[in-house]
Amino acid sequence: MISFRKLTLADVHKLTDIDRSETIDILYRMHNGVLNETPAAHECPTWDEELTREMQGRFIHELQNDGVAVGAFDGELLVGFGVLAHQFRGREHDQLQIDLMFVSRRYRRQGIGTRIMNDLSVEARARGAKYLYISSTETRSAVSFYKSCGSQLADELDEELFEKEPNDIHMIKKL
Output the domain CATH number for residue 80: 3.40.630.30
pLDDT at 33 over 90: no
Residues 6 or more apart whose CB falls under 8 angstroms from that of 129 comprise 88, 94, 95, 96, 175
How far is Cα 173 from Cα 154, in angstroms, rounded to an integer? Answer: 9
Query: Which residue range(s) make up the domain with 150?
Result: 2-174
Mean of pLDDT values over 20-42: 90
- Total domain count, the chain: 1
pLDDT at 90 over 90: yes
Mean of pLDDT values over 58-80: 98
State the pTM of this model: 0.94
Among candidate residues 44, 104, 48, the one with its CA nearest the CA of residue 73: 104
Question: Which residue type sits at 116?
Answer: I
pLDDT at 68 over 90: yes
| Tens of pLDDT, residues 93-137 | 999 999 999 999 999 999 999 999 999 999 999 999 999 999 999
Q: What is the DSSP letter of 70?
A: E
How far is Cα 102 from Cα 116, in angstroms, rounded to an integer? Answer: 10
